[in-house]
Structure 1
Amino acid sequence: MAWYHTYFEGLPQKAWKLNQDEEYTEFEVDFLRDTLDLKEGNKVLDVMAGYGRHALPLADQGMELTCVDLSTEYCEELQKISEQENLPVDVICEDILAVAFGAGSFDAAYCFGNSFSFFPREDMQKFLQKISDLLIPGGQFAIHTENLAESIFPNYQIRNWMPVEGDIVYLAQNEYFPEEGYIEAEQTFISGTEKVTHIVRQHIYTLAELGFMFQSAGLKVVGAFGNLEADPFMLGDEQLYLVARKF
């Protein structure tokens, strides 16, 4: 079982949600709507949907969302809110690699929230092929990651920590394994007397490598941006927003 199957529960799940900026999320929703050319009635897949911070606003704007996530807590919260607000959201609490969709099931898809680096290379290629298969011809796929090689290595830190909203403190001890291309981190969350530690693997890709893998899956990269203003991605940018189209 991969580490991310049990990571988003309890204190880490709470810390992730508290660390999100609502205004920035609104900008990301606008970015998704514009770059994916979303229209009312479009069927959209949200991969690693979490508690639906992107999916709920898009559903409120008339898109039909299918949300896949592994966290029972997040899925239950998303299901409850979508039912209360009568929004067109279908929640699937499962690993995206294990979910079966028919070919051409979606007009667009996205994977935001820095979860794109969860997959090792073999699984990543399977994941991209799955996305390609379920999109209609010309359908688009957007991803966000802060774990691109060009982002991580110019300012690589072996240790880092930060306070999270409330009384939670996050600490990480990082080690890079170059032969396999991943960072293994011992992540610790502390809140009062509560302490939770997980071993996490983030797989690090270069932009060129991602371009090749997308192309191999039938997805042509049409934009690689360093921010939501759609400026071209440059070495040292802290995050990547990438958009690809099925050909």
Structure 2
Amino acid sequence: MAWYHTYFKGLPQRAWKLHQDEEYTDYEVDFLRDVLEITPESKVLDLLAGYGRHALPLAAQGTALTCIDISQEYCEELQNISSQQQLPVEVICADVLNYTLPEAHFDAAYCFGNSFSFFPRAEMQQFIHQMASALKAFAHVAIHTENLAESILPNFQARNWMPVQEDIVYLAENEYRAEGGYIEAEQTFIAGSEKVTHSVRQHIYTLGELTYMFELAGLTVVGTFSNLEADPFMLGDEQLYLVARKG
């Protein structure tokens, strides 16, 4: 069983949510509306949706969202909020690799939140194909990642730590396995007397690899940006926003 099947619950899940910046999320939502050409009539697919920090504000403006995530806790939270607010959100709690999405059904899709490093290369190609097949012709897709090779490797850190809100501390020991193209990490979360440690494997892709994999799935990359102002991505930039079009 892959690490992400059991990671997103309890203290790590709480730490991830507390680490998010609501104002920055609003900017990302505006970015998604723009680059994906989302309208209130659009049907949008949110892959690895988490607790719906992008889906909920999009749905609040009338856009129909289909959200898929593996975390039972996140899915329940998203379902409860969308039901209470009567938002057009369908929540699917499943491993996306084992779930059959409807073909040519969605007007747009996205995978945000730095989730685009969970899968090894064969499974990543499968994931991209699934995403592409679910889109209508000429629809757009956007991804976000901070784990691109051009971002990680120039300033690789074997150890790092970070304080989180509510007195949570995050620590990580990282080892880059060049032969497999991934980082093997031991991540520890500490809050008072509570301590949780997970072994995590994050697969590191070059931008060239991702572009090729998207092309194999029938997706043409039309933009690679380092920020929400759409500055071109360059070596050493901390994150990538990639936009592609089907067909």
Fold-level match, TM-score > 0.5?
Answer: yes
Alpha-carbon displacement from aligned partner over 1:171-217 (angstroms, at most 9, x marks no partner): 00000000110001000000000000000011000001110000011
Structure 2: runs of 5 or more not aligned: none
Matched, 1:26 2:26: yes
> What is the DSSP-based 3-state SS (H/G/I as helix, E as strand, rest coil) of the residue aligned with 1:215?
helix
What letter corresponds to residue 37 of structure 1 in structure 2?
E
Structure 2 equivalent of residue 152 of structure 1: 152
Structure 2 equivalent of residue 233 of structure 1: 233
> What is the DSSP-based 3-state SS (H/G/I as helix, E as strand, rest coil) of the residue aligned with 1:109?
strand
Structure 2 equivalent of residue 139 of structure 1: 139
> What is the DSSP-based 3-state SS (H/G/I as helix, E as strand, rest coil) of the residue aligned with 2:117?
helix
What letter corresponds to residue 26 of structure 2 in structure 1?
E
Structure 1 equivalent of residue 203 of structure 2: 203
> What is the DSSP-based 3-state SS (H/G/I as helix, E as strand, rest coil) of the residue aligned with 1:38?
coil
Within 5 Å, which residues of 2 pair with 1:1-247?
A: 1-247=1-247
Q: Which runs of 4+ in 1 moved over 3 A?
A: none
User: How many residues matched?
Assistant: 247
Give the TM-score, by structure 1 length: 0.99
Distance 1:180 1:153 in 2: 14
Deviation at 1:62, TM superposition (A): 1.4
Stretch deviating more after TM superposition (60-69 or 20-29): 60-69
Deviation at 1:37, TM superposition (A): 0.4
Deviation at 1:41, TM superposition (A): 1.6
Deviation at 1:102, TM superposition (A): 2.0
> What is the DSSP-based 3-state SS (H/G/I as helix, E as strand, rest coil) of the residue aligned with 1:117?
coil
Give the TM-score, by structure 2 length: 0.99
What letter corresponds to residue 35 of structure 1 in structure 2?
V
RMSD of the TM alignment (CA)?
0.5
What letter corresponds to residue 124 of structure 2 in structure 1?
M
> What is the DSSP-based 3-state SS (H/G/I as helix, E as strand, rest coil) of the residue aligned with 1:190?
strand
> What is the DSSP-based 3-state SS (H/G/I as helix, E as strand, rest coil) of the residue aligned with 1:195?
strand
Deviation at 1:155, TM superposition (A): 0.9
Structure 1: runs of 5 or more not aligned: none
Distance 1:169 1:36 in 2: 36
Deviation at 1:72, TM superposition (A): 0.8
Deviation at 1:63, TM superposition (A): 0.8
Distance 1:142 1:96 in 2: 17
Deviation at 1:146, TM superposition (A): 0.1
The percentage of aligned residue pairs carrying the same residue is 71
Alpha-carbon displacement from aligned partner over 1:90-115 (angstroms, at most 9, x marks no partner): 00010111111221111110000000
